[in-house]
Amino acid sequence: MDKRFKSWINLSLLNLTIVACIGVLMRYKIGFDFPYLEQKNILHAHAYFAFTGWVTHLLYTFIYYHYKQEFTQKGLRYAVMLIRTNLVASYGILITYFVFGYSYQASFFVAVTILASYFFVALFLSQLRYFDHNPGTKWLAAGLIFYACASGGAIYNAYMLSAGTFSQKIFLACQYIYLHFQFNGWFLLSCIGLFIGLLSRKGIAFDDNNIFRMIAYMCAPTLFLSTLWMKMPSWLYWGTVAATVLQCVGWAMVVKFAWDNRLLIKEKFTRNTYSLFLLAAMALSIKMILQLGSTHPQISKLAYGFRPIVIAYIHLVVLGVITIFLFGYAYAMKIIPSSRLSHAGILLFVGGIFLNEFVLMIQGVASFSYFAVPHINQVLVFVSLIMLAGIVMVLIARKEIDQQ
C-alpha cells in the first residue's frame, strides 16, 4: 500500500471517530444539561461530516486504490486532487456548521463537495474505457451518478432559502431526494460494487446483470417511497410499489447466491470479514423489508411522522449496512489489523450499533402512544460512548500497525 492510501485510510478512521464524538455530544445535550452550542448546528455538522468525511471519503479512497493502475497519469492526478478537495471541504463543513450553523460559510463548503463530486463522476466515467472488466465497476459508476443526482435536493433548498420562496413540503421533498440518492444510490450501490468486485478478484463468478437492473435501475422510482404522504396519481404509486418489489427480489437473488456459495465464500475470507459481511447483509435485509412495508401509505405516514423511527432508519442504513460493510471490506483488504485490540474494538462498535437500534426502536414504539420511556436519553448517551470507545480502539490498532 502506498503512503497516500495509508494516510487517507487513517484519516477516514479519524473522521469516523470525530463523527462518533459529535454523536456523544448530541446525545449528552438531550440527556443532560449542557446549554452550550446549538443542537441543530451540531446535528448538521454530524450528518454532513459523516456523509462526506467518512463514507464518501472512504469510497473515493477505495476507488482510487482499485483503479489507480488503470487511470491515465493525468486522470490519477485529478483523482488525487478531487479526493483532497473533498476532504478539506469536509473539515470546512464540520467547522462552519459548528460555529455558524446553516450559513453562507457552511453552504460554500457543501458546494465545494458537490462540485468535487461532479468532477469525480465525470473523471470516473471518462476513464471507464481504460479499466479492465470487473463486474463491480458498473455498480460504482451508477453509485457515482446517483451521488451527483443527490445534490439536486440540496441545491434547490439553498435556492429557496436565498430567494425567500420557502415551502415546507418542497423543502422536505428535497431533503428526501438528497438522502435517498446518497443512501440508496451512492452508498449502497458502491458498497455492492465493491463486494462484487472483491468476489471477482477472489475467483468467485457472479452473474449480476439482472440483479443490477433490478436494484440500480429501480433506485430512481423508489424515491417516491419517501413522498407517499403527498398526493400522487395512482399510476405513480403502483409504479413505486413495483420498483420496491423488484429491488427486494434483486436483493433476494444476491442472498440466494451467497447462501448457495457460503462454503466457498467462507474459504476465501477470514471469520471476522465473513461475520461483518453477514451482519451488513442482515441489516440490509431488514432495510429492504421495512422499505417494502412502507409502500402502505398509512405505515409510511406513521414511520416518517415519528422522529425516533426516522433516526433509527438512518442509523440502520449508515451504520448497520454501510459502516459495518466497510469495516468488513477493510478487514478483507488487511487495512484493519487482525489483533485483539481491533477485534475488541469492532465488537464494541458493532454491539453499540445494534444496541442503538434496539433502544431507538423502543423509543419509537413508545412514541406511538406518546409515552416517554424513563431515562431513555441517558441510555442513548451510554450506547454512543460504547460506539466511540470501539472506533477509538480500531484507530489505535490501525496506528500500531503503521508504526511497525
Distance CA 350, CA 387 (A): 7
pLDDT at 305 over 70: no
Beta carbons within 8 Å of 315's beta carbon, 6+ residues apart: 353, 356, 357, 360
Specify the pLDDT at position 33.
73
Average pLDDT over residues 273-282: 94
Residue located via cell numbers 445535550: 29
pLDDT at 311 over 90: no
Specify the pLDDT at position 377.
84
pLDDT at 194 over 80: yes
pLDDT tens for each residue of 62-111? 999 988 888 888 889 999 999 999 999 999 999 999 888 877 788 889 99
Specify the pLDDT at position 103.
77
Q: What is the 3-state secondary structure (H, E, C) of the chain?
A: CCHHHHHHHHHHHHHHHHHHHHHHHHHHHHHCCCCCCCHHHHHHHHHHHHHHHHHHHHHHHHHHHHHCCCCCHHHHHHHHHHHHHHHHHHHHHHHHHHHHCCCHHHHHHHHHHHHHHHHHHHHHHHHHHHCCCCCHHHHHHHHHHHHHHHHHHHHHHHHHHHHCCCCHHHHHHHHHHHHHHHHHHHHHHHHHHHHHHHHHHCCCCCCCHHHHHHHHCCCCHHHHHHHCCCCCCHHHHHHHHHHHHHHHHHHHHHHHHHHHCHHHHHHHCCHHHHHHHHHHHHHHHHHHHHHHHCCCHHHHHHHHHCHHHHHHHHHHHHHHHHHHHHHHHHHHCCCCCCCHHHHHHHHHHHHHHHHHHHHHHHHHHHHHCCCCCCCHHHHHHHHHHHHHHHHHHHHHHHHHHHHC
Are 388 and 21 contacting, i.e. CB atoms less than 8 angstroms apart?
A: yes
Residue located via cell numbers 484493519: 336
Average pLDDT over residues 373-391: 89
pLDDT at 115 over 90: yes
Distance CA 351, CA 221 (A): 34
Specify the pLDDT at position 365.
76
Specify the pLDDT at position 304.
63
Specify the pLDDT at position 172.
76
Specify the pLDDT at position 177.
87
Average pLDDT over residues 34-43: 80
At residue 71's C-alpha, the angle toward residues 69 and 77, to 5°, is 105
pLDDT at 284 over 90: yes
For 258, the grid coordinates are 451467497
pLDDT at 348 over 90: yes
- Band of residue 296 on the pLDDT scale cut at 50, 70, 90: confident
Specify the pLDDT at position 139.
95
Specify the pLDDT at position 386.
94
What percent of the chain clears pLDDT 90, i.e. is strictly above it? 46
Distance CA 124, CA 64 (A): 10
What percent of the chain clears pLDDT 70, i.e. is strictly above it? 93
Q: For the ranges 81-90, 107-116, 128-137, 320-329, which has the lowest average pLDDT?
A: 128-137
Closest CA to 241 of 291, 285, 195: 291
Residue 163: how many other CB atoms lie within 10 Å? 8
pLDDT at 372 over 80: no
Are 395 and 20 contacting, i.e. CB atoms less than 8 angstroms apart?
A: no
Average pLDDT over residues 381-404: 85
- Band of residue 256 on the pLDDT scale cut at 50, 70, 90: very high
pLDDT at 15 over 80: yes
Distance CA 173, CA 162 (A): 18
Distance CA 360, CA 376 (A): 9
- Band of residue 166 on the pLDDT scale cut at 50, 70, 90: low
Average pLDDT over residues 23-36: 81
- Band of residue 298 on the pLDDT scale cut at 50, 70, 90: low
Specify the pLDDT at position 83.
96
Residue located via cell numbers 471469520: 271
- Band of residue 287 on the pLDDT scale cut at 50, 70, 90: very high
Specify the pLDDT at position 404.
53
Instruction: Tell me the pLDDT of the chain averaged across its residues.
Output: 87
Average pLDDT over residues 272-300: 87
Residue 213: how many other CB atoms lie within 10 Å? 12
